[in-house]
Structure 1
Amino acid sequence: MQSSFNSEFLGEAIRVALLGLPVTIGVTVVALLISLPLSFFLATLRVHNIPVISQLIRVYVSFVRGTPILIQIFIIYSSIPLMLKIIFEKYHIPYDIYSIHPIWYAFIIFTFSTTALLIEVFRSALGTVDKGQIEAAYAVGMTTFQAYRQIIIPQMLVAAMPNITNNVINLIKATSLGYALSLPEITLNVKVAANAGYNYLEAYVVIFIIYLLLCSTVEYGLKRYEQHLTRYKLA
């Protein structure tokens, strides 16, 4: 077992961590690109209280908010291959489902989780916009799409950005659980490198620093964008 801090390992740990950085960023970006528009659409359905659909969305949100992300990973990662195997065998599709790269499961899992969390963010943000504004938009001849794009969404984003920022940061940190999928992201790469010499303390220090820098940079960028959005209120 290791008895002292191995500073020489830090360079190797940083190198392998940076190799996993594109995977971490890629999973985060793909999950956001899908979940942002999808969650906004589902939030509007909840706001309009569409029968049945609204109740299903509420159950979905409650499931995600009430269960640990790690449990969601294990459930989805275990159930999807089983369902695909049944479908492929039924239709005689000659494909090895166990050869699917884990990043595809990561896209599904983190999109599934992030969408549910953002639904509540958008739902509460939509509630801050005066309903009379969309009626006024209709009165001047705007379509629903135009009203949302030019009036509702810009105002809603001002209220939503702080919570969106929190959810993006939480998503980045949650991708560290990709090791459960054998996903070659930051955490798994560094932990594997640490196994040979039991350099786990150094490994966790590097992981801590990489995620701190990454999350701080993203948070700074989103805060600047939030300040940009609020400028119209000062006019």
Structure 2
Amino acid sequence: MDKIFDFTYMVKCIPKLIPYLSATMMVTVISMLFGLLVGFFIAIVKIYKISVLRQIAMVYVSFVRGTPLLVQLYLIYFGMPKFLYFFQIKYGWFENINVNVIPPEYYAILAFSVNLGAYLSETIRSSIEAVDRGQFEAANSIGMSQAQIMLKIVLPQALIVAIPNLGNTLISTVKDTSLIFMIGIVDIMGEAKIIGARGLAFFEIYIAVSIIYWFICIILEKCLNLLEKRSRIFERSVV
């Protein structure tokens, strides 16, 4: 070993890792979308204090926030096939699904969606509650339904409030997807492990991975800052 760090090897590894970025971004984007849907549903349940569902939502949020994401990933990856197989044998449900050939990406998206739903529910709830209550009353006074109030009055304003927290969650999710190689998905982290094992140059390859993640997060941060500035301009014009 004549040198601590091989810069040339690290640079050569970056182009080899880039094609696998698609798996990382696919899991991130789809999970974020489903997580927003789950989070919005949980937020509405809490805001309107729907009795039974509210208790279930509280347990769900508490469990997700109190357990590591990796544990949740394993629970879904190893647990879902057992549940599907049980329902197939016991009740004849999901007979067209071959449990043994379900792509691991599906489990990763489900796990991340469940995780994000819990965290985003608090972001969405606090953003909705930040909207001036007088606007609810004004909308009610002109005969708007609760759905119309939520879609046309509340959500556009709540979105502006939520953008910073949503952006932070998105950036965190990009980094958290580095765990998906643990269930056999070859993303940039999984490919880095493969390349590192071939050349026994783990230090260089993980530096290359960190640079890619860093670059992606910088781009996202710049885009989110621009979006936030534009939304603030819109907010001032509305006021």
TM range (shorter): over 0.9
Contact 2:10 2:208 in 1 (8 A): yes
| Larger displacement relative to structure 2 (2-11 or 97-106) | 2-11
How far apart are the structure 1 equivalents of 2:201 and 2:75?
31
Unmatched segments (≥5 aa) in structure 1: none
Other-structure match for 2:69: 69
- Give the number of aligned pairs: 235
How far apart are the structure 1 equivalents of 2:62 and 2:12?
42
- Following superposition of structure 1 onto structure 2, how do residues 1-235 of structure 1 map, counting pairs within 5 Å? 4-90=4-90, 91=92, 93=95, 96-235=98-237
**Counterpart residue identity of residue 20, structure 1:** Y
Contact 1:17 1:190 in 2 (8 A): yes
**Counterpart residue identity of residue 179, structure 2:** L
- 1:45-95 per-residue CA deviation (whole Å, 9 max, x = no partner) reads 101111011111111111111111111111111111111222233439475
Q: What secondary structure sits across from 1:5 in the alignment?
A: coil
Q: What secondary structure sits across from 1:49 in the alignment?
A: coil
- TM-score normalised over the length of structure 1: 0.92
- TM-score normalised over the length of structure 2: 0.91
Q: What secondary structure sits across from 1:52 in the alignment?
A: helix
Contact 2:38 2:114 in 1 (8 A): no
**Counterpart residue identity of residue 51, structure 2:** P
- Per-residue deviation, 1:161: 1.4
- Per-residue deviation, 1:231: 1.5
Unmatched segments (≥5 aa) in structure 2: none
Contact 1:21 1:185 in 2 (8 A): yes
Contact 2:38 2:117 in 1 (8 A): yes
- Per-residue deviation, 1:168: 0.8
| Larger displacement relative to structure 2 (76-85 or 90-99) | 90-99
Contact 1:190 1:203 in 2 (8 A): yes
Contact 1:2 1:197 in 2 (8 A): no
Q: What secondary structure sits across from 1:62 in the alignment?
A: helix
Q: What secondary structure sits across from 1:183 in the alignment?
A: coil
- Per-residue deviation, 1:118: 0.1
Structure 1 residues 114 and 84: alpha-carbon distance in aligned structure 2, compared to 1, 3 A threshold: same
Runs of 4+ residues deviating >3 angstroms: 1-4, 92-96
Contact 1:178 1:185 in 2 (8 A): yes
| Structure showing greater relative contact order (alpha-carbon pairs closer than 8 Å, 6 or more residues apart) | 1
Contact 2:31 2:116 in 1 (8 A): yes
How far apart are the structure 2 equivalents of 1:114 and 1:39?
7
Contact 1:88 1:94 in 2 (8 A): no
